[in-house]
Amino acid sequence: MNPWWQGESVPDLPQWRRAAYKELDLWLRKPPAPRAVLLSGARQIGKTTLFLQSIEGLLVGEVHPGNVLYVTFDHPLLKLTGLDEVLRLWRSIEAKQSGLEYVFVDEIQLLPDWQIWVKHQVDFNKGRRIALTGSATPLSMLKQESGVGRWHTIRLATLSFFEFLRIQKKQEPNLPEVPSLTGLFKWNEGDFSKTGTIAEPLAAQFHEYLQRGGFPQCALASTVTWAQKLLREDIVDKVLKRDMTALFGVRRVVELEHTFLYLCLHDGGQLDIPTLCKNLGVKKPTAKNFVELLAAVHLIHKLSPLGYGKEVLRGKHKVYLADAAIGPSVLSKGRALLEDETQLGKAVETAFFKHVFTRYYKGNVTFAYWRGKKNHEVDIVAEVNGRLIPFEVKYRGKNTNADDLTGLREFCVSKNVRRGYVITRRLSDFGVLRQQEKGVDFELLKLPAPLACYWLGRSELNSASYAE
């Protein structure tokens, strides 16, 4: 597991690095606080690769190879051995050299009382930097009191559309830099028209991304059919049938699978627990527990209704799958996804939510959805430092006009919001709608989904700012 001890490099390590690499490298080299760093995300998302790339960077930076340990507790023998014994064995093989030690621990959630170990390492071993990975949120939920303030969490999502193009080595169109979507409100009609024309190749690539998904091995699979098979069998099935049992002691796996299938069928929709219970024949506490566990292993995101107090407590959550390709893969849609406008629209909404959430979650941003008194809705609302930013997905064959945006217009008027975003399908459906209703002036930017996801992924990689 540690070929650098023999003067060897890690074979077949990708040279291209994801956006999270910079943050991980910062916490290893010059941590802003005395904490371990935890890389959290779904199974097969690329956490180990990111670790090995970070190790490569440290070794190039003149860290002695003997001061770097990588170990994964997915290995049954090492899991049986335990972490303290592994550390002892490390030092029996490689003598400590001058300088800091770096310990990289993969899948630490498989070890009992790992939080106490991290606490002791951070508090009493100042000459050692600790990096951890885990495929489940219990790393930051269960027994947290034993590790409060002892680790910094980096959430790793599936590949963005921009990263997907990079990993596939696709030729990218020569698009302008857009570090902030706000800047698009200053564009003129010529800018929108020219950019939409340049971006035409992105449309087909975006549809392939929706089918293959953002898991690296699926992105690199030879065909869409094989990519969806890998996602369904190597990722989803292992999480439901192995991780849920190992981490949470789930025994009613069939009911859990049925619950997840139900969520795949209702991706991006409001979750009605009584209806789910009636359809699946499960009890309400069981259904709620399953939903929480699926969120804990990073297969779904929950979105609360916008509001406070009773509005939130009485409201229903929306549920988004962690990746747009999960639903089509589990439901064996294949390329038929592109022929079903409703399902395709849901996949785009899921993909866009993942992009905007990943881009901004590190800042002081919360996400919700909005439903008005007349049951008009806005798909996603980001709250940034007290400002509300609404997003509505309208992914369909015709151009979008103001009459198609009743919910978004009602939201802007009722909340006195001056800017909102409409995620469209056609690259020609790109521009600004300026509205005045009931004394409120507001602008709605129509932004094609391929461009929105491309720019959000690109700005995440190239920028450390969290402005709108």
Give the DSSP letter string of 268-332: TSB--HHHHHHHHT--HHHHHHHHHHHHHTTSEEEEEESSSTHHHHHSPPEEEESSTTHHHHHTT
For residue 425, give the H/E element and its range.
none
For residue 389, give every residue at least 6 positions away whose Cβ sits within 8 Å of its Cβ, in sequence order, or none.
381, 382, 383, 417, 419, 420, 421, 468
**What's the pLDDT score for residue 313?**
60
Which pairing describes strands 431-437 and 440-448: parallel, antiparallel, or unpaired?
antiparallel
Mean predicted confidence (pLDDT) in 25-36: 93
User: Which SS3 state, helix, strand or coil, does residue 444 take?
Assistant: strand
Q: What are phi and psi of 179, to 5 degrees?
A: -65, -25
How far apart (Å, rounded) are the C-alpha atoms in residues 160 and 172?
A: 14
Mean of pLDDT over the chain? 90
Give me the residues paired with residue 315 across strands: none
Residue recorded with tokens 């909340």: 415
pLDDT at 143: 46
331 CB neighbour count, 10 Å cutoff:
17
Task: Give the C-alpha distances (Å, rounded to integers) separating 444 from 96, 429, 447, 456.
Answer: 60, 12, 9, 18
Q: How much is the pTM?
A: 0.91
Mean pLDDT lowest among 159-168, 186-195, 235-244, 321-330: 235-244
What are the beta bridge partners of residue 366? 383
CB-based burial, 121-156: b 16+ in 10 Å, e otherwise:
bbeeeeebbbbbbbbbbbbbeeeeeebeebbbbbbb
Bridge partners of residue 445, in order along the sequence:
421, 432
Measured CA to CA, the distance from residue 50 to residue 56 in angstroms comes to 10
DSSP string, 101-136: EEEEEESGGGSTTHHHHHHHHHHH-TTEEEEEEESS
Q: Is the pLDDT at 112 greater than 70, yes or no? A: yes
| Beta-bridge partner residues of 128 | 101
pLDDT-based confidence at 459, cuts 50/70/90?
Answer: confident
Integer Cα distance of 131 and 106 in angstroms? 8
pLDDT tier for residue 138 given thresholds of 50, 70 and 90:
low
Distances from the Cα of 362 to the Cα of 23, 57, 375, 397, 460, angstroms: 11, 24, 31, 34, 11
18 pLDDT higher than 50:
yes
pLDDT in tens, 142-159: 444 455 578 898 989 999
pLDDT above 70 for 442: yes
Residues ≥6 apart with Cβ < 8 Å to 126: 34
Task: Give the number of other CB atoms < 10 A from CB of residue 64.
Answer: 17
The arithmetic mean of pLDDT across residues 169-193, rounded, is 93
Indicate the helix (H) or strand (E) that contains 391.
Answer: strand 387-394
Is the pLDDT at 427 greater than 80? The verdict is yes
Q: Please determine, for residue 262, whether its predicted confidence score (pLDDT) is greater than 90.
A: yes
Under the banding of pLDDT at 50, 70 and 90, the label for residue 359 is: confident
Sheet containing 377-384, strands listed edge to edge, beginning at the edge strand earlier in sequence = 318-321, 300-305, 365-371, 377-384, 387-394, 419-424, 440-448, 431-437
At residue 36, φ and ψ (nearest 5 deg) are -75, 170
Where is pLDDT greater, at 126 or 373?
Answer: 126
For the cut 60, the answer to whether the pLDDT of residue 222 exceeds it is: yes
Evaluate if residue 464 carries a pLDDT over 70.
no
Q: Could you tell me the pLDDT band of residue 246, with boundaries at 50, 70 and 90?
A: confident
Distance, in Å, from the CA atom of 385 to the CA atom of 314, rounded to the nearest integer, reads 25
pLDDT at 373 over 70: yes
Domains annotated for the chain, with CATH where assigned, are 3-156 (3.40.50.300), 162-462 (no CATH)
